[in-house]
Each structure stands twice: as structure tokens, then as C-alpha cells.
Amino acid sequence: MRPRARLSERLAGMLSVIVMLTIWELASRFGWQDPQILPAPSEALLAAARLLGPWDLAQHVGISLFRILAGFGLAAVVGVSLGIVLGWSPLAARCLRPFVEVLRPIPPLAWLPLAIIWFGLGEPSKVFVIFLGAFFPIFTSAWRGMTMVSPTLIRAAQTMDVDGARLLWQVAIPATLPDIAAGLRVGFGLAFGILVAAELIAAKSGMGYLIMEARQLGQLGIAIFGIFLIGVVNLVADHQLARAVRATVGRWSNV
Amino acid sequence: MTHRGYRRLGDAAVPGVILIAFVAGWEAVVALGWVRPIQVPPPSRIVASALELALDGFPAGTLLGEHVGITFLRILTGYALALALAMPLGLLIGSNRTLDAATAPIVTFCRSVATLSLLPLAVVWFGVGEASKVFLIGYGCFWVMLSNTIAAIKLVDPVLISAARTMDTPPAHIFFKVALPAALPRMVAGARVALGVGFMVIVGAEMIGTTRGLGALIMEARTFYRSDITVVGMFVIGAIGLALSWGLTCAEAWLLPWERRQQERDP
């Protein structure tokens, strides 16, 4: 883990953020650049405060969070279990590998039209695409982790008569946990990007929809507010996930 | 044939047989009417559509080759621009502690911004043409590559640098002959992640406001109830992804001959 940043370094970071926001604000105020093209941060905030009620905002954020948690949760469960099965059983790996290799390179968003045909325009189609986005990194790292478990560990356990299910549960899976933890982080990042895209293209609610609606109404301030909102929610969610992962799956790894 | 030869043949045959059985089963399930062809277009239909797409084009006569070409060009332009900007900048930021501290929050935040959420802004800034798509791909790839480059140069083993210093190596030499080669593996890994991001972004960017490119093809096909064409588009974009990632592997082998052994163990 990275050591806690020194105070002076934090100050430098805060300072540069303040300087950037000030330049942006001044640039719009003094007309160095067209506010129609890039509204000032204060304008964006004011527009958001004027046009968006707190309840609407909470609803958009809430529905987005629900979608991502559903898709990511599903991907975590299915991805980790499948990865472990394929890593444990060479037979399963040999049978399923061709499908994995064919499906893996397809970008998750490309599934959206099929998802809409299969599940309609409601929540399941979005959850499915988010699921796909998170699934492959989680699954691949679990699988890869399983195949990379040190053979010495396995043999050492075997000499002590640990075999079968106990070998899997007490040796192989714990040794794979760091990889699983890393996969969960990567998967969450991808899922978040896909969430926004799916909401831009096919949704009537959520943070992505908020931005798309603002664009159609020509409210660029709201769009900028939405972009920042998504960034902040992503950062907070990722931070929480990192904490949860560290506390559970990744106890002895640097995630 | 030797014993090993048989085994190798078996290794190749099992997945082949399974895939063929799967495709046959898929075709049968649709032929028996258990699922509707619009939901799961049968393989025969997909092959026919691929031919139709390659020869007659869809929508409105845009041939498959044109879709592929335009998507390829957009990805490569955005990706190349992002790499060309991010690598020098990342090396600069990563080798300077103050600069790194000052830019860290900005880099972290810009990386967390979902690239496609910038789509409305990109349209206002660059119009609906090529520039906005290249911008989005470039944005997504840039921050990923930048943060990976910064991390790569920061994580270079300090012992290497100190060792070079004790041998009176000039600073420029330390950078180009010691730090940069030591950082390269992580940078290449970052380039791979960035390419993945570019692929995700292109599909989304092409789904809105254009009829050319594979993302547009995939989305347009749905509005015409041609899910078979959607599936063709998905496979084609997957194949392009594989081809580019293979190209990256070749570049990696050429740039980092000493890293090759690790690659081969990957499942």
C-alpha cells in the first residue's frame, strides 16, 4: 500500500486543484472563452441547484447505484465461482475455454442491442450489460490466480493428506484471493464506465440519462454538473469498494 | 505419431468438437422453434448476413469493410494521440515529486470521470463528426496511460537508480538507459489497458449520432429488427480487438524481449 501522503504533498495537490478551478472560472467570467461552450463551474453548480431538486438528484444517483450494484454483484458471484471452477478442473477449462475466448473480446456495450431484444428496455438489460463488463476481468483474474497457485503449496498440503474439497477451500482459494481482489477492483471500474454509457443510450433515469437530457435541452451547465457528479460518485464508490475488498477478500494483499 | 503427438491432437480436438456441437445445437434449437430467430439468430443466418453485409452493405449500402475501416481509424487515431501525449507527460510527472503531488488529484479525478459522460460536451465542442469520437477515445486512453506511466516511473526500483549514480552515470543516461527500460513493462501493460478502454468507448461513441462504424452498425441493426447483423458486428469488433491486442503482444515482444517468458504462462 502507498504510504500516507505527506502534508506538503497534499497541500500541493489541493492548491493545483484550486488554481485550475479558478482559471476555468475566470476564463468564463472574462470571456476568454465562450460560456456557451464551457460554462464556469459556479454556473454549473447554480444551474444544477436551480433546475434539479434534491429528490430528483437522489433518485438519479440511487437508480444508477442500484444498477451497478446489481450488475457488479452478479458478476462478482458468477465470475469468481466460474473462475475457480475453471482453474480447479482442467476438464471444465478445456470445455469452456473456447467460449470464453470467443466472447471475451466483444466489448460489453456491443451486447446492448441484444440485451434490449432479450430483456426489453427495463432494468434487466442494463444490469446485464454492466454484469458483462465486470464479469470478464473478475472471471479472468480468478481463473488465472487459480492456475498460478504455487505447486509447492499444493504439494505441501497433499503430503499432509489434505485433498479434494479441503485442498480447494483451505489452500487453493485462499492463495487466489489477492488475484480475485485485484479483479474485483478492475471489474468495478469497467462496470462504472458501462453503466454511464448504457444510461446515455437506453435509459429514462440515472446519472447518464441526466447528462443526455441536459444535452437535449441545451443545458450545458447541468451536463457539466452531471459529469462531475459521476466522477465523484465513482471515486467514492471505488474507495468504499477498496475498503470492503481490503477488509474481506484482500486481507493479505496490496490492493 | 508419438504419444505426445496424440495428446496434442486431443487437446486441439476437444475444444473444436465442443464448439461444433454447440453451433449445431444452437442451429437446431432455432430450427425447432424453441427460441425466436430475432432473439437468437441461428449460425446459418449469421453467416448469410455477414456475406450480405460484406457485399451489399447495411444500412443504406455501407459495406462491412467501410464500417471496419472507419472504426479502426477512429480507434487508432485517438489511441495514438493519447499515447503520444500521455507517455512524455507521464514520464515528466512521474520523475518529479512536486509535480506528481500537484497533479495527483487532477489525474485521479479525470480518470474517474466516465469517458462517455463527456459525449454531450464533445458534441458541443467538436460537432457530431469524427473529431468528437476521436476526442472521446483519446480522453479515455489518455488518463489511463498517463496514470500508468506515472506509476511505472515511480515504481522503478530505487536501488537501480542509486547503483547507476554510484557509477557516475550522467542524469540523462540514468533516465534513458536505466529508469525508462525499467518502467517499460508497466507502461506496456498500461497501453494494453488503455486499448481496452478505447474499445469500450468507441462502441458507445458510435452508438449515438452516426450511421457509420461498427458501433453504429450494431445499434442501427436493432432498429431494423436485424439482430443477425448485430451479432455479425459484435463478432467483427471482437476480432478487431483480438487483432490489435495481438499486435500489442508483438510490439511487447520486440520492445521487451526479457519479459516474454511471463506472457506464455497466461491462460
- Distance between A121 CA and the closest CA of chain B, angstroms: 12
Same domain, B21 and B62: no
Q: What is the CATH number of the domain that holds B245?
A: 1.10.3720.10
Same domain, B204 and B90: yes
Rg value, chain B, Cα: 23
CA–CA dist B193, B201 (Å, integer): 13
Report the residue of B20, B111, B117, B199 to disrupt the A interface, i.e. the one with the largest count of A CBs within 10 Å. B117
Which residue of chain B is at minimal alpha-carbon distance from A114?
B227
The closest alpha carbon to A208, from A188, A216, B209, A186, belongs to: A216
Mean pLDDT on A116-129: 89
Q: Is residue B129 predicted with pLDDT exceeding 90?
A: no
Same domain, B220 and B168: yes
Q: What percent of chain A has pLDDT over 70?
A: 94
Same domain, B14 and B86: no
Long-range CB pairs of A213-216 (<8 Å, 24+ gap) are A214/B120, A215/B119, A215/B120, A215/B123, A215/B124
Q: Is residue B89 predicted with pLDDT exceeding 90?
A: yes
Residue ranges of domains in chain A: 65-247
Q: Which tens digits make up the pLDDT trace of B216-231?
A: 888 888 888 888 889 9
Higher-pLDDT residue of B101, B57:
B101
What is residue B63's predicted lDDT score, i.e. its pLDDT? 84
What is residue A245's predicted lDDT score, i.e. its pLDDT? 84
Q: Which tens digits make up the pLDDT trace of A23-77?
A: 888 887 776 666 677 788 888 888 888 878 888 889 999 999 999 999 999 999 9
The count of structural domains within chain B is 2
Q: Is residue B31 predicted with pLDDT exceeding 90?
A: no
pLDDT band at B81, cuts 50/70/90?
Answer: very high
Q: Is residue B27 predicted with pLDDT exceeding 50?
A: yes
What is residue A255's predicted lDDT score, i.e. its pLDDT? 47
Q: What percent of chain B has pLDDT over 90?
A: 22
CA–CA dist B246, B254 (Å, integer): 12
Mean pLDDT on B176-182: 87
pLDDT band at A4, cuts 50/70/90?
Answer: low
On chain A, the residues whose CB falls within 8 A of the CB of B215 are 109-110
On chain B, the residues whose CB falls within 8 A of the CB of A33 are none
Contact B230 A224 (CB under 8 A): no
Long-range CB pairs of A98-101 (<8 Å, 24+ gap) are A98/B15, A98/B16, A98/B18, A98/B19, A99/B19, A99/B22, A100/A139
The closest alpha carbon to A221, from A52, A38, A84, belongs to: A38
Q: Is residue B9 predicted with pLDDT exceeding 70?
A: no
Higher-pLDDT residue of B264, B198:
B198
Q: Which tens digits make up the pLDDT trace of A165-185?
A: 888 888 888 888 888 988 998
Contact A231 B124 (CB under 8 A): no
Q: Which tens digits make up the pLDDT trace of A78-102?
A: 999 999 999 988 888 888 888 888 8
The grid cell for A44 is 454549473
Q: Which domain holds residue B4?
A: 1-35
* Residue listed under C-alpha cell 428496455: A121
- Return the percent helix, strand and coil in chain A, to nearest 5: 80, 0, 20
Q: CB-CB: which of B19, B39, B235 is closest to A118? A: B39
CA–CA dist B212, B229 (Å, integer): 14
The closest alpha carbon to B198, from B170, B249, B154, B240, belongs to: B240
**Summary mean pLDDT of chain A:** 85
> Position B204: which residue type?
G
Mean pLDDT on B16-33: 86
Report whether B198 contacts B75 (CB < 8 A). Answer: yes
Q: What is A65-247's CATH number? A: 1.10.3720.10
CA–CA dist B69, B81 (Å, integer): 18
Q: Which region holds residue B78: left if phi is over 0, alpha if psi is between -120 and 50, else beta?
A: alpha
Same domain, B167 and B209: yes
On chain A, the residues whose CB falls within 8 A of the CB of B22 are 99
Q: CA B209, A39, A235, B152 torsion: positive or negative?
A: positive
Same domain, B6 and B56: no
What is residue B146's predicted lDDT score, i.e. its pLDDT? 95
Same domain, B23 and B106: no
CA A67 vs CA A127, A203, A207: distances in Å? 6, 11, 11
Same domain, B137 and B159: yes
**Summary mean pLDDT of chain B:** 85
Same domain, B10 and B61: no
Q: Residue A36: which H helix or E strand, with range?
A: none
Which residue of chain B is at minimal alpha-carbon distance from A188?
B112
On chain B, the residues whose CB falls within 8 A of the CB of A99 are 19, 22
Q: Which tens digits make up the pLDDT trace of B145-154?
A: 999 999 999 9
Same domain, B144 and B251: yes
Q: Is residue A221 predicted with pLDDT exceeding 60?
A: yes
Higher-pLDDT residue of A127, A6:
A127
Q: CA A180, B107, B243, B70 torsion: positive or negative?
A: positive
Provide the ipTM. Answer: 0.83
The closest alpha carbon to B188, from B266, B106, B253, B140, belongs to: B253
End-to-end CA distance of chain A: 7
The grid cell for A38 is 464551457
On chain B, the residues whose CB falls within 8 A of the CB of A228 are 113
Determine how many CB atoms are found less than 10 A away from the CB of residue B9: 11
Contact B219 A201 (CB under 8 A): yes
Q: CB-CB: which of B207, B239, B267 is closest to A147? A: B267
Higher-pLDDT residue of A164, B85:
B85
What b/e readout covers A40-64, taking b as 16+ CB neighbours within 10 angstroms? bbebbeebbeeebeeeebeebbebb
Same domain, B19 and B136: no
On chain B, the residues whose CB falls within 8 A of the CB of A200 are 116-117, 119, 204, 208
* Residue listed under C-alpha cell 459521476: A230
The grid cell for B194 is 488503455
Report the residue of A9, A37, A109 to disrupt the B interface, i.e. the one with the largest count of B CBs within 10 Å. A109
- CB within 8 Å of B170: residues ≥ 6 apart: none
Q: Which tens digits make up the pLDDT trace of B92-128?
A: 999 888 889 889 889 989 988 889 889 888 888 888 8
What is residue B266's predicted lDDT score, i.e. its pLDDT? 46
Same domain, B130 and B213: yes
